[in-house]
A and B are shown apart, each in its own frame.
Chain A
Amino acid sequence: MSNNAPVSRPRFAPDPARGHFYNYVRFLWRSGLDATDGSGWFYAWMTLLSAVALVGLNAWATQIQHGMGVTGMNDHVSWGLYIANFTFMVGLAAGGVMMVIPAYLYHDEEMHDVVIVGEMLAVAAIVMCIGFVVVDLGRPDRVWHMLPGIGVFHWPVSMLTWDVLVLNGYLLLNLHICGYLLYMRFIGRTPNPRWYVPFVFISIVWAISIHTVTAFLYCGLGGRPFWNTALLAPRFLASAFVSGPAFIILGLQILRRFAGVQMSDRPISILANIMRVTILINLLMLASEVFTEFYSGTSHTSAARYLYFGLHGAHGLVPWIWTSVAFCVIAAVLLLRPGVVGHKVQLTVACVLAFVAVWIEKGMGLIIPGFIPSTLHELVEYTPSLIEWQIMAGVWAAGLLVYTIALKIGLPVLTTKPGAKH
């Protein structure tokens, strides 16, 4: 069967006479070529990302050499920018499979073509999660201590071990789904549903689990009353399903505008509809949390007081959290307008605002107040150091690199005519 994939080149075409092993290696090689070939803008983007990633890498190397003291963290606020970003990224990874639900549970054929964008976001986001955890470790050279069998894996008691399992499992799931679909496209065969549909269903449930387990990391700690709330896991899910679709809507718009991908407004419209509901749920849960904290007036609420109003002269996070609330409300108002999908500028603004709002609220707005005041009620504020910002930028750049490469490889899937089976 001849290969009529739209961007094939004779040199690395699959050979139907040879087996899967040979063709898979060819697929990887071709993907590598696809990933490093493009327009001038593409090279500029990739070079920029690589440069930022290298700056981050150097900052991380300095941190390894001199110790975590180069960060702004201390024994009072012992988690900071890295874990804040990690928490946010887990949500983004979970939200990435939002599109899977309408496509597969509701048999929406048109969504199928763009589902891969969400799944690739999940892969890139998990890579960033792993990146943020590794840069936060005091001894990354000892990561092998976690491997069951050769290390000591404190499962099922430690929630961190659950998190390791679910995050890596989620990564493997999405790698398999994306890899399988792209490989089938490469060798010009129709994907067999048995090999990916069950995994897609599992990934829907698994997406819920990654964020629930991450929330359990925090809400299981009795000594941290700011986190020790049953609402934490549902709040994580609600905000994940705001940030994920927001990012994907932005991504789809970029693909349409800059990569020539043809698609109707329908996937964007579905995602915007999802966001309309989840952003309101997010605001409702925020209101519930705020009421519970402030109505009772117990000293357990001092962390919330620090976050929203400042405490004893310390008010570092107050402008941040109110910005996040304002952005969330504005985004909700914009999204609720009936014709917002047609107004691309309004939609873009709403998505950017929602994304930033969740980044603040689930990042610094969640992690830092857990430590302020400390368990002995000392008020020690935290400011990330330059090295922390550099490393954060580096991990983001690495994640965007992965995402860009994944999309570049996956473009053929998206540029086929609508209606073609995938």
Chain B
Amino acid sequence: MGLKAPLYFHPLVAVAFLSVGAWWLCAVEPQKTSGPAVPVSGSSTGATLVRHAVNIKSGPETPTVLTNALTHTGEPVPVACSTCHATRTPDLARRRAEEMKDFHQGLAYKHGDQTCLSCHNAANYDTLHRADGTSVDYPRVIELCAQCHGPQHRDFQAGAHGGMNGYWDLSRGPRERNTCVSCHDPHAPAYPKVRPVFAPVDRGARQQHSREQAHEAKESAHE
């Protein structure tokens, strides 16, 4: 029994390598396509694209204050801001909510160093005013915020700030957007703390959490 390779051995190996190589070359197929592409609706040859509306929610209605008086149906009587403020002297320096003794108690106010009348319009309390003194209605409060908070407003215009619902592709549907006061209380605009929802309950997260708690308890017991 000889252990020299038989005559056919080398040609066999050569054929094996060549066929593997050929198979490899054939096996690397071009990427299969994932199906016919759909032309974007609304775009035909040269026609203008439909662009749906982007609705930005408007700011609040001109606010009223509820008094203790009741109407004949038992509802509290609302009065416009100017009803009281028309006969009062505006205090241009007031900037702390605690100073207000007669009305507006309990107002949470934390908006930097602004005075009340930085935004509220001493000439017409049913409106607000811009930095140049011109008045602006409450529904258009976004113009007021944008004066100082330029970067946020710029981001908002570009779609990178403030939530939205609807379509990313405005040629196929509209979009609805928040305005500033949808999320930011103008008197205390810092975004509030919220309770998070939906903590992971999968086996993994629960194990890790209970182990970390036990570990921390052990470490603090050592100290």
Contact = CB atoms under 8 A, between A and B. Distances in A.
B72 interface: no
Nearest to A104: B3
Nearest to B5: A198
A421 B214 CA distance: 68
Nearest to A109: B1
A75 B9 contact: no
A314 B204 contact: no
Contact of A74 (B3, B12, B204, B214): B204
A197 B5 CA distance: 8
Interface stretch (B88-96, B139-147, B205-213): B205-213
A421 B204 contact: no
Contact of B211 (A194, A201, A313): A313
Interface stretch (A18-26, A318-326, A343-351, A375-383): A375-383
A32 interface: no
A412 to B, nearest CB: 19
B205 A198 contact: no
Contacts of B214: 313
B203 A74 contact: yes
A379 B204 CA distance: 8
B24 A156 contact: yes
A342 interface: no
Nearest to A381: B207
A155 interface: yes
Nearest to B1: A193
A9 interface: no
A380 B206 CA distance: 9
A107 B4 CA distance: 11
A313 B5 contact: no
A416 to B, nearest CB: 15
A193 B7 CA distance: 12
A75 B203 CA distance: 9
A203 B202 CA distance: 46
A198 B215 contact: no
Contacts of B215: 312-313
Contacts of A75: 202, 204
B112 interface: no
Contact of A107 (B3, B8, B27, B211): B3
A192 to B, nearest CB: 9
Contacts of B202: 74-75
Given A74-B204, A156-B28, A378-B205, A197 B3 contact: yes
Contacts of A194: 6, 8
B218 interface: yes
B9 A198 contact: yes
Contacts of A381: 207, 211
Interface in B140-176: none
Nearest to A194: B6
Given A74-B204, A155-B27, A156-B27, A379 B211 contact: yes
Contacts of B2: 193
Contacts of A77: 204
Nearest to B24: A156
A193 B3 contact: yes
A76 interface: yes
Given A74-B204, A380-B204, A421 B3 contact: no
Contacts of A312: 211-212, 215
Contacts of A378: 204-205, 208
Interface string A94-109: 0000000000100100
Interface in B11-33: 12, 24, 27-28
A243 B172 CA distance: 64
A378 to B, nearest CB: 6
A45 B92 CA distance: 99
Given A156-B27, A313-B214, A380 B207 contact: yes
Given A193-B3, A380-B204, A198 B12 contact: yes
Interface in B171-223: 202-205, 207-208, 211-212, 214-215, 218
B3 A380 contact: no
Contacts of B28: 156
A421 B212 contact: no
B1 A421 contact: yes
Contacts of A198: 5-6, 9, 12
Contacts of A153: 27
Contacts of A76: 204
Given A156-B27, A313-B218, A193 B6 contact: yes
Interface in A387-422: 421
Contacts of B9: 198
B93 to A, nearest CB: 53
A215 B214 CA distance: 37
Contacts of B27: 153, 155-156
Closest 7 CB pairs of A and B: A313-B215, A380-B204, A76-B204, A194-B6, A74-B203, A74-B204, A313-B211
18 contacts: A74-B204, A104-B3, A153-B27, A156-B27, A193-B1, A193-B2, A193-B6, A198-B9, A312-B212, A312-B215, A378-B205, A379-B208, A379-B211, A380-B203, A380-B208, A381-B207, A381-B211, A421-B1
Given A194-B6, A380-B203, 15 more contacts: A74-B202, A74-B203, A74-B204, A153-B27, A156-B27, A193-B3, A198-B5, A198-B6, A198-B12, A312-B212, A313-B215, A378-B208, A379-B208, A380-B205, A381-B207
